Amino acid sequence: MSPPSTPAPPSQSLPQVPPSAPHILIIGAGSRGHSYSRAVVSNTLLGVPGRISCIAEPIAFKRRQLGRKFVWGDREPRPREEFEGWRDWVRYEEVRRRRVAAGEIVEGGEEGEEEVDELGRIMRDGKEVERGVDAVIICVLDELHREVVEGIAHLGLHVLCEKPLATSLEDTLRIYRALKPKDDQEQKTIFGICHVLRYSPHNMLLRELVREQKVVGEVLSIEHTEPVGWWHFSHSYVRGNWRSEETTAPSLLTKSCHDIDFILWMLCSPSSSDPPDTPPHLPSTIASSGSLKLFRRKMKPAAAGNTTNCLSCPIEPDCIYSAKKIYLDRHLGKGDTGWPVKVVDPEIEDLFTNRGKEAAEERLLERLAEDYDDDTPKEEVDRRGWYGRCVWESDNNVCDDQTVSMTWDDEELPLPPQAAASTSANGTNGANNHHGATTARKPRTAKSATFHQIAQTLAQCDRRGRIYGTLGELSYDSHTITVHSFTTGLTTVHTPSTTTMRGHGGGDDGLVRVFVEAVAKVRNEGWKAEEAQRRYLGAGVEEVVRSHVAVWAAEEGRRKGAVVGWGDFWREHVEGGRDVA
């Protein structure tokens, strides 16, 4: 019999969390997987404990890199902490649950003394402890979201999915129908989408001022712009993974679905002061226009000739889109190995640390020199980014300039259920109850919104806009909110806290914080999933889907040059007009 083992010393690189902290699986170790893992750890240090307990990622280097940072720290990983893919983890989890049910292993929890044996297993009373996860954060490529969500749905876990929900309307609705509780069923799990703009300190204050405090009165119109950034667009949407509608989706979805969600959140979703049964104020019409204007062969400088790669191009030293300038001079040459350099090659960060700047630069230039020609199989071209490819010779086709217009009509709200019942019983018109108090809801006024996504900008993803109301005007960028009151003539400038302004203005941290808190409420305090979702995330599954449906309605309007009626589009595509199963 082996001598009793002693607990392994805690990792010095990871924060310690209580046993009751939600355990989370990260599926996908790319940039977003790192961002949300970092947010979990950061929020844990600030008092909202959560634990990244395992990672599923097919690329071994990326899997180990994220694992060292956020899962196992400076010790060796245990087998149940890393998986080569989400299907491998599903198979493990199904077996683990059967073994727990059979009494072969112990489910992790807060009870009992635990120790680590000579094989690195956590043991309690002679049995191995295998703690399951409470939640999953999905960070794989957009086009894989649907199969992952459907593939893990039977496990009944809380899920946070990177945006967009899916890359087609059909897949979006498949997820919607899989997640939406049936009429006679209770919502069992929390589901969130990474519409991070809702959760930044800036935008939370913006909505508080506009919707709760009504600093500009009733909103009449919003103008909202997303300036993508001139080299950012060339990285992600010309050379990178999101360059083609055929392999991913339109840029309005992949880049700006959370901007459309932001507009609907500001104008459509009920405020916290509204009664709980208040319906959303749905748009009436959606229209869009846009195209690929700059990044196409017709715009290629004549002096570049037939060259298809930056490193062999005669005008590379003078071209602002030179891959060497963007990735080497602007980033790696200054010691920056993060995004976008790590997207070109995820191993460059470790190369820089372990072998030095020269080795990292050599690897980067090797990657930038990679190119394709007419003989390269299309599948090979489609499956990856080509970051040294000439921006005028790429196979990209997504819009680099697009505008979306939405309108809302006046709307009379129905009476609350109790008032409606009283009206029917008393034969009155519902204007007053028996105490003389008004029971009719205030009508909602017509309004409009315009969204502009533009690639060629100095600002990079620093949204800006204006809101016009009956009593004032408000302007905002990603740092300040300026309110002018028509009533007083005064102008007030608000500067939201910047203490956690990392990742979409603090939105990454904010979203992960409320998701982990909601999961903890359900797990540890017995909250209903629906209540936790509403109180912490603020949006249910239908609201998540609504903003995606708005994107597809806008895309239909763009392709057809038509104004799309919201009600007709929703009824046709969502309420059963066609079978998407």
CA 403 to chain centroid: 21
Quick one: residue 506, left, alpha or beta (phi over 0 = left, psi -120 to 50 = alpha)?
left
Residue 215 CB neighbour total at 10 angstroms: 21
Residue 126: closest CA among 105, 110, 97: 105
CB 407 within 8 A of CB 564: no
Please give the span between the terminal C-alpha atoms of the chain, in angstroms, as a whole number.
Answer: 56
Q: What are phi and psi of 554, to 5 degrees?
A: -65, -40
- What are 35-47's pLDDT values in tens digits? 999 999 999 988 8
> Average pLDDT for residues 542-553, to the nearest whole number?
95
DSSP assignment, residue 62? H
- What are 297-311's pLDDT values in tens digits? 999 999 999 999 999
List C-alpha distances in Å: 79 to 86, 197, 288, 323, 493. Answer: 14, 36, 50, 40, 53
Q: Is 497 exposed, middle or buried (0-12, 13-18, 19+ CB in 10 A)?
A: exposed
pLDDT of residue 540: 87
- Strand ranges for 61-131 from DSSP E: 82-83, 115-116, 122-124, 127-128
Six-digit token pair at 155?
């496990």
Say whether pLDDT at 79 is over 90.
no
Residue 478: closest CA among 499, 459, 464: 464
One-letter amino acid for residue 78 of the chain: R
> Average pLDDT for residues 217-226, to the nearest whole number?
97
Residue with tokens 């997820």: 175
Radius of gyration of the chain from Cα atoms?
A: 26
> Average pLDDT for residues 193-206, to the nearest whole number?
94
DSSP bridge pairs for 25: 54, 136
Say whether pLDDT at 60 is over 70.
yes
Q: What is the four-CA torsion angle of 444, 446, 452, 458, rounded to 10 degrees?
A: -70
Distance CA 18, CA 20 (A): 5
What CATH number is given for 198-292+401-410+445-502+546-564 in this structure?
A: 3.30.360.10
Q: Which CATH architecture has domain 23-193?
A: 3-Layer(aba) Sandwich (3.40)
Domain boundaries, the chain: 23-193, 198-292+401-410+445-502+546-564, 297-382
Pairing of strands 82-83, 51-56: parallel
Six-digit token pair at 409?
């009509």
pTM above 0.85, yes or no: yes
- What are 2-35's pLDDT values in tens digits? 333 333 344 446 888 888 899 999 999 999 999 9
Pairing of strands 564-565, 285-291: antiparallel
Residue 416's pLDDT band (cuts 50, 70, 90): low
